[in-house]
A = this chain, B = another copy of it.
Amino acid sequence: MAETTYKTPLLDELEKGAWPSFVKEIKMAAKRSPMANDLLGQLEQSYQEKIGHWKHGGIVGVMGYGGGVIGRYSDLSEKYPGVSHFHTMRINQPAGWFYTSEALRSLCDVWERHGSGLTNMHGSTGDIVFLGTRTEELEPIFEELAKLDFDIGGSGSDLRTPSCCNGMARCEWACYDTMQACYQLTQDFQDELHRPAFPYKFKFKFSGCPNDCVASIARSDMSFIGTWRDDIQMDQSEVKKYVDGGLDIQKDVIDRCPGKCMEWNGKELSIENSFCVKCMHCINVMPKALRPGKDRGCTILIGSKAPIVEGAQLSSVLVPFMKLEPPYTEIKDLIERIWDVWCEEGKNRERVGEFIQRVGLGNFLEAIEVEPVPEMVAHPRENPYVFYEEYYEDDDGEEEEEA
């Protein structure tokens, strides 16, 4: 294949330095792929001109799926024909991002045959991102992936590829089985994941404890964060060892405890667990000495998102505590009730968090049949603008239902 070799003086500057160089990666791929080569050329031009050269994406995909592919075309396709099409495929990663070398190699083989040879491991939603291919390659890629048992992830107004922390696989703090929950709900909601039918995107993320190592509270419409209800497990002798080892337990642990519920008498640590807000801090600092309690489950929160349009949100508590265990019936029912209400009444491009703010959390709870509890709010209302729903009529003195 006749190929231009681009001069890339600006990008070359980014081959220097200690951090892995994406320019080197592109150059490596460019050795074999004209697409990657033309990406290099176009990117150098972007660096020169300080502007991207991609057109607004078009809709492309694989048969029967409505999402999972981001269409992308160069606005300099004559100059860089290799990137005239440069679509992204989102491949649903295995829960926890665990791989065998064999699995990785077979993915690489598919991508060598049909794409630019460039990837993101991983995209920020969590997918394996195959970066750059042509429309006509999509179906063959899907076919080959299917043989490897790799399915496509989400994009558009659908359930997005769920992701989870490595949880019980490699973490002592997992309060529920994040990988199983993530896998199972992904499987159970395949239709919602592949066929955009929501008002907008919807994301699940699963973290095994309040450290929230997949940033679920900031980045998912529904955040599952492990927690516990009983007492922190303590090994006093290990506490002592930390202190003897130089830990300033007063300053670095006790004074930083948001529950203000710890005391150290020089020999023993005591915790007033009814005030512990399960923040993880003391456990984080003394992993050998303290562990989450034994009555474990998760807090379910709803609504986080990036700023567009109504401003960023963190998720807020929907279910203070729930055991998240197979067959996940209770949670699936809840999710479906939420989707029903949101699909029925949500506006186009309105994330569920924005929807809740528009209709009111109280009304939303009624619609999804969840009882309000004080754990859902940082504090009760401050303004006196209460929509009392009933009033008495003068004539008959009977309570009348409004609204």
Residues of chain A having any CB pair with chain B under 8 Å: 307, 311-312, 382-385
Separation of A382 and B314 alpha carbons in the complex (Å): 12
Query: Which residues of the partner chain B approach A383 to less than 8 Å between Cβ atoms?
Result: 307, 311-312
Q: Whole-angstrom distance from the CB of A353 to the nearest CB of chain B?
A: 14
Query: Which residues of the partner chain B approach A385 to less than 8 Å between Cβ atoms?
Result: 307, 311
Residue of B nearest to A310 (CB): B383
Query: Which residues of the partner chain B approach A307 to less than 8 Å between Cβ atoms?
Result: 383-385
Residue of B nearest to A260 (CB): B255
Residue of B nearest to A311 (CB): B383
Separation of A307 and B307 alpha carbons in the complex (Å): 28
Q: Whole-angstrom distance from the CB of A218 to the nearest CB of chain B?
A: 12
- Please classify the interface of chain A as helix (H, G, I), strand (E, B), loop, or mixed, using the class held by over half of its residues: loop
Q: Whole-angstrom distance from the CB of A221 to the nearest CB of chain B?
A: 19
Separation of A383 and B305 alpha carbons in the complex (Å): 12
Separation of A383 and B313 alpha carbons in the complex (Å): 10
Query: Which residues of the partner chain B approach A382 to less than 8 Å between Cβ atoms?
Result: 311-312
Query: Which residues of the partner chain B approach A311 to less than 8 Å between Cβ atoms?
Result: 382-383, 385
Residue of B nearest to A383 (CB): B311
Query: Which residues of the partner chain B approach A384 to less than 8 Å between Cβ atoms?
Result: 307
Separation of A312 and B383 alpha carbons in the complex (Å): 7
Q: Whole-angstrom distance from the CB of A104 to the nearest CB of chain B?
A: 37
Separation of A381 and B311 alpha carbons in the complex (Å): 11
Residue of B nearest to A309 (CB): B385
Separation of A355 and B214 alpha carbons in the complex (Å): 41
Q: Whole-angstrom distance from the CB of A27 to the nearest CB of chain B?
A: 32
Of the A-B pairs whose beta carbons lie under 8 Å apart in the complex, a sample of 8, sorted by A's number, is A307-B383, A307-B384, A307-B385, A311-B382, A311-B383, A311-B385, A312-B382, A312-B383
Separation of A112 and B311 alpha carbons in the complex (Å): 60
Separation of A311 and B383 alpha carbons in the complex (Å): 6
Separation of A84 and B398 alpha carbons in the complex (Å): 35
Separation of A307 and B382 alpha carbons in the complex (Å): 9
Separation of A155 and B383 alpha carbons in the complex (Å): 25
Q: Whole-angstrom distance from the CB of A366 to the nearest CB of chain B?
A: 24
A-B pairs with the 6 shortest C-beta distances? A311-B383, A307-B383, A307-B384, A312-B383, A312-B382, A307-B385
Separation of A383 and B312 alpha carbons in the complex (Å): 7
Separation of A385 and B384 alpha carbons in the complex (Å): 30
